[in-house]
Amino acid sequence: MTHDTLVLIAKIFGPIWMMGFLLIVVIRAYSPKRRDAHDRAARSVLQPDDRQDSA
């Protein structure tokens, strides 16, 4: 296997793998089932006196 062959394989399968990974991340990030977990994580970085009621 030559260097040129390895470069060709990397140029073909690298972007395919990265797009697949991006798709998985986007699906997990915008899944409605995970909304509560994301909200908890967003509020966990605030100090207790910085929290504001959403109502």
Note the pLDDT tens digit of each residue in 3-47. Answer: 999 999 999 999 999 999 999 999 998 998 988 988 888 888 877
CA distance 52 to 45: 13
Reply yes or no on whether the pLDDT at 49 is more than 80.
no
Q: At which residue do the structure tokens 């207790």 appear? A: 48
The answer to whether 5 and 12 have CB atoms below 8 angstroms apart is: no
pLDDT at position 23, please?
Answer: 97
The answer to whether 44 and 38 have CB atoms below 8 angstroms apart is: no
Q: Is the dihedral of CA 8, 10, 12, 15 positive or negative?
A: negative
What is the enclosing helix (H) or strand (E) of 29?
helix 3-29
CA distance 44 to 38: 10
pLDDT at position 51, please?
Answer: 57
